[in-house]
Amino acid sequence: MAKQLPRPTQTRVLTVSNQKGGVGKTTTTVNIAAALATAGLNVLVIDIDPQGNASTALGVEHHAEVDSIYDVLINDMPLGEVIAQCPDIEHLIVAPATIHLAGAEIELVSLVAREQRLRRAIEVYAQERESAGLPRLDYVFIDCPPSLGLLTVNAFVAAQEVLIPIQCEYYALEGLSQLLKNIEMIQKHLNAGLVVSTILLTMYDGRTNLAAQVAAEVREHFPNEVLSAVVPRSVRISEAPSYQQTVITYDPSSSGALSYQEAAAEIAERGK
């Protein structure tokens, strides 16, 4: 990350989504966010997965008593009041998730403008930062649960871009077509400006033919969206969250950290 990454001309809001579990959504969210923040860009991670794994990896408290994104979505609490500073990385802030989010899908159903609540909260927070003379956020990353309920819909409506991590395994493309159909519905009815801007191949095992085949197939279908950087299977990446860290701070010279830094640089270059 020695080279300076370009700042986007306006805040880029990316939803990291794939309804298939275990593809590296949270790992991708926290590591790309950490890589961009380490390069001096101002980054906010919003954790809307009830499991709260992104909050754990970024070292932020998220037990049941903590004010969280749940309070923002359900109780109209300002986003600025729930945001916590990531202890390891200066330019990275986090809106944590708590277990209360598990019931939020049901509670959202009866609320006014239920699909727009996250978007509105982000817009108001951006205005508050400006009024307070704080620097503009360069990136907002939203970590979604592995489902397509109202929390994920809120994330799609709030974002301009979707980042899809795809595991280099046999079923990788099966879930993708369903996800793209859902994104199309969101584009048609709720957020015309949403685009799938980025696809990242994760858990790549260079020793297998299967990984190479899946990578080739995904690149063939999405030649412009797939990043050149590929994230390998890595013990270091898996270990980092148990120390409440991203791999970027846990072992900056590991292959996992370097591949996420490469992916972050590509994302930054594409969006300038």
CATH number for the domain that contains residue 252: 3.40.50.300
Confidence at residue 272, expressed as pLDDT on a 0 to 100 scale: 57
Question: Does 161 fall in a domain?
Answer: yes
Assess whether pLDDT exceeds 80 at residue 217: yes
- Alpha-carbon distance 78 to 91, whole Å? 20
What pLDDT digit, counting tens, does each position of 161-174 carry? 999 999 888 777 77
Of 47-61, 66-80, 181-195, 209-223, the range with the lowest mean pLDDT is 209-223
Confidence at residue 170, expressed as pLDDT on a 0 to 100 scale: 77
How many domains is the chain built from?
A: 1
Assess whether pLDDT exceeds 90 at residue 147: no
Mean pLDDT (the chain) is: 92
* Domain of 127, in residue numbers: 12-173+184-270
Question: Does 92 fall in a domain?
Answer: yes
Assess whether pLDDT exceeds 60 at residue 201: yes
Q: Which of 204, 252, 233 is nearest to 35 (CA)?
A: 252
| Over residues 3-32, mean pLDDT | 89
Identify the three-state secondary structure at position 140.
Answer: strand
Confidence at residue 221, expressed as pLDDT on a 0 to 100 scale: 87
Question: Does 260 fall in a domain?
Answer: yes
Question: Does 33 fall in a domain?
Answer: yes
Confidence at residue 121, expressed as pLDDT on a 0 to 100 scale: 97
Question: Does 4 fall in a domain?
Answer: no
Confidence at residue 3, expressed as pLDDT on a 0 to 100 scale: 56
User: How would DSSP label each residue in 182-223?
Assistant: HHHHHHHHT-TT-EEEEEEEEEE-TT-HHHHHHHHHHHHH-T
Of 94-108, 113-127, 161-175, 247-261, the range with the lowest mean pLDDT is 161-175
| Over residues 77-102, mean pLDDT | 95
Question: Does 1 fall in a domain?
Answer: no
Q: Which of 122, 267, 145 is nearest to 197 (CA)?
A: 267
Q: The tokens of 164 are what?
A: 């899809």
Q: The tokens of 169 are what?
A: 């395994």
> Edge-to-edge, what's the strand order for the sheet holding 43-47?
84-85, 92-95, 43-47, 139-143, 12-16, 161-167, 195-204, 226-232
| Over residues 214-238, mean pLDDT | 91
Assess whether pLDDT exceeds 50 at residue 1: no
Confidence at residue 2, expressed as pLDDT on a 0 to 100 scale: 44
Residue 150 or 173, more confident:
150
| Over residues 120-143, mean pLDDT | 96
Question: Does 6 fall in a domain?
Answer: no
What pLDDT digit, counting tens, does each position of 44-67 carry? 999 999 999 999 999 999 998 999
Confidence at residue 230, expressed as pLDDT on a 0 to 100 scale: 93
Question: Does 204 fall in a domain?
Answer: yes
